[in-house]
Amino acid sequence: MENQRNIILAVLLTALVLFGWEAGVGYFYPQAKTPTKVEQAGGAEKASSPSSSIKPTREGGLRDAADVALEKQDLKSALAEGGRLLIEAPGLSGSINLTGAIVDDLVINRHRETVKKDSGPVRIFSPAGTPAQQFAQFGWVGSGVATPNAKTVWTAQKDARLTPSSPVTLSWNDGSGQTYSIRFAIDKNYMITAEQTVDNKGSAPITVQPFGLVNRTDQTASLDTWNVHSGPIGAFDGSVSFSTNYSDVSGKGTVKEAGNTDWIGFTDVYWMSTLAPVGSKAEGTFRSLGNNLFRADLIYDQSIVQPGQRLSRTTKLFAGAKEHNVLDAYEKQGITNFGLAIDWGWFRWFEKPIFWLLVKLFSLVGNFGVAIILLTLIVRGIMFPIAQRQFASMAAMRAIQPKMKALQERYKDDKQKQQQEVMKLYKEEGVNPLAGCLPMFLQIPVFFALYKTLILAIEMRHQPFVLWIKDLSAPDPLHILNLFGLLPFDPPGFLAIGVLALLLGITMFLQFKLNPAQMDPTQQQIFMIMPWFMMFIMAPFASGLLVYWITSNLLTIAQQKFLYSRHPQLKAQAEKDAGDKKRVKA
């Protein structure tokens, strides 16, 4: 009766997982919305409807096909208006709008929008008013003095271009003796340096307060989850804060961060735009502007500039990909804890070495999938002595089974005494029942580290493996139920089983089959269900993670074969258990 109850319970739980899985996966791992056909006429009107009800995707970006079409249209119009200074650097390309001195047109040259080779570069900044608006601006707040604003038309040297070897200076004169200038410089990666200067050539002192800002919409934000932060970010008094979300800023209107600001801005899972003061103290604030718009402000202390004097403030604008080596290099150049902008979490002490090893292996073999397999070999090799002890413990446990059964029978009416005698037997025989769990326990941090690496590391984005696996950071694109895309439908989430997920289930099943049969029938049933349960669980995860797990299973099978040869009594017992089981069924 008890076994029947357990079977019914197992079936009900399995059904709950299968049919509740789709909702869970849809919530935690939403996929990009399939673009729908957009009519040439009326697309703009469609895009004006709010798309905030569509859940953000893992990478971010516009969520609605109408918004994508409108963004393309608006971008073309905005950039065609003229009055722009071109930006040409290895890392970034785009332009600065001379009206307002706004950096509002940037693409990241080293990263494509999709896995297609003809896909364009990732756009990170778009002008104000476009669906994907995001830009940076530098200015002054003045007291009793005219300061440039968003409508100010700045002048630059004719045919000037911002490149790593040619900084440019924009200037504006207020007509009453003050000259404002912004000198822009750019490096080979993703950093633009803005030096704001005001020369007071008037006859009276002026009071000014330089500032910089990043303005963006959350309509392009990536998914913010419990383990990967997306939204406002910054370092304040040396501590990086991942605790503020867009909803927090919307609710409060203004979030003023305590302490001096080391850097402040917004992050997505792969991209980030931040401002960092250089050599001066500044305050950082996040603001909600309504209509899904947000702003990160960096404002310096108010200063009095005497006649004949000048005031300069320098700010670093990072707008680019969160490549760990680039962020670490900027940190070494003086931006406090900039390398921690990647949300490694509390276990970064373990995750970063795993990531470092993976990148090193990739540099040797040139394929991240092969690097993952080599990493798995290394991990399993390190844990081999522990696995060997695990099998020795299993063999010893099997050897004392008759004695344990005798104790259980003798003290079946006194559980406490039974437990004491069993523990005494363990001690006398030198058996540790927990030894069998140790290898699995040690694999958990490795698995979690790789999981975080595949989610966070842009170095893994769009990295192919073999055949149909074009992006190891994305789920397996081929589904068995639609015959690998030959049938024109997408299976629902809980049935979207890919080839890798199936291989995972099969290898795990074979691995469990090699284990000695469990004494408890309920445990036997759980071990039979577990591989197929995990197949559904792991299907929506990154392909690289499944490659790791399949390789690990195959190595475990090979390892079990080898260790059975070292412990023949365990193999004999396993065969005896299998024979007994067949006889019982017969």
> Which domains are present in the chain?
65-343 (2.70.98.90), 356-474+542-585 (no CATH)
Backbone angles phi, psi at 130, to 5 degrees: -85, 155
Output the pTM of the full model: 0.78
128 neighbors 151 (Cβ within 8 angstroms): no
Distance between CA atoms of 179 and 175, rounded to whole angstroms? 8
For position 502, what pLDDT does the model report? 86
Other beta carbons within 10 angstroms of residue 244's beta carbon come to: 17
Distance between CA atoms of 278 and 330, rounded to whole angstroms? 12
Greater model confidence, 64 or 282:
282
Distance between CA atoms of 22 and 555, rounded to whole angstroms? 31
For residues 265-278, average pLDDT? 95
Distance between CA atoms of 325 and 333, rounded to whole angstroms? 12
Does residue 287 carry a pLDDT above 50?
yes
Distance between CA atoms of 275 and 261, rounded to whole angstroms? 9
- Both structure tokens of 207: 């009071």
Greater model confidence, 45 or 260:
260
Does residue 268 carry a pLDDT above 70?
yes
Does residue 436 carry a pLDDT above 80?
no
Distance between CA atoms of 12 and 283, rounded to whole angstroms? 56
Does residue 477 carry a pLDDT above 70?
yes
- Both structure tokens of 477: 């694109």
For position 278, what pLDDT does the model report? 95
Greater model confidence, 41 or 63:
63
For position 512, what pLDDT does the model report? 75
Distance between CA atoms of 167 and 490, rounded to whole angstroms? 51
317 neighbors 273 (Cβ within 8 angstroms): yes
Distance between CA atoms of 145 and 208, rounded to whole angstroms? 8
Does residue 19 carry a pLDDT above 50?
no
For residues 330-336, average pLDDT? 94
For position 522, what pLDDT does the model report? 63
Taking only the tens place, the pLDDT of each residue in 153-205 is 999 988 899 999 999 999 998 888 889 999 999 999 999 999 999 999 888 88
Which secondary structure element, helix H or strand E, spans residue 123, and what is its range? strand 121-125
478 neighbors 471 (Cβ within 8 angstroms): no
97 neighbors 180 (Cβ within 8 angstroms): no
Average pLDDT for the chain = 80
> What one-character DSSP code corresponds to residue 301?
P
Of all residues in the chain, the percent with pLDDT exceeding 90 is: 32
Does residue 40 carry a pLDDT above 50?
no
- Both structure tokens of 77: 């119009």
Burial state string for 70-100 with b = 16 or more CB within 10 A and e = fewer than 16? bbeebbeebbeeeebbebebebbebbbbbeb
For residues 201-230, average pLDDT? 88
Which range has the worst mean pLDDT, 203-212, 324-333, 543-552? 543-552
pLDDT range class, residue 104, cuts 50, 70, 90: very high
Cα–Cα nearest to 182, from 227, 142, 139, 245? 139
The beta-strand segments (E) located in 291-410 are: 293-300, 303-305, 310-321
For residues 411-417, average pLDDT? 79
pLDDT range class, residue 95, cuts 50, 70, 90: very high
Greater model confidence, 227 or 208:
208
Which secondary structure element, helix H or strand E, spans residue 232, and what is its range? strand 231-236
Q: How far is CA 181 from CA 109, 140, 522, in A?
A: 28, 11, 76
| Token pair 């791992």: residue | 29
Virtual torsion, Cα 125, 128, 131, 132, nearest 10 deg: 10
For residues 230-242, average pLDDT? 91
Greater model confidence, 477 or 261:
261
For position 41, what pLDDT does the model report? 34
For position 139, what pLDDT does the model report? 93
Distance between CA atoms of 566 and 93, rounded to whole angstroms? 62
Distance between CA atoms of 512 and 345, rounded to whole angstroms? 33
Cα–Cα nearest to 142, from 196, 207, 198? 207
385 neighbors 559 (Cβ within 8 angstroms): no
Of all residues in the chain, the percent with pLDDT exceeding 70 is: 78
pLDDT range class, residue 3, cuts 50, 70, 90: very low
For position 150, what pLDDT does the model report? 87
What's the one-letter identity of residue 406?
A
Does residue 239 carry a pLDDT above 50?
yes
For position 185, what pLDDT does the model report? 96
- Between vectors from CA 243 to CA 239 and to CA 248, what angle results, nearest 5°? 135
For position 576, what pLDDT does the model report? 64
For position 486, what pLDDT does the model report? 67
Cα–Cα nearest to 85, from 211, 178, 182? 182
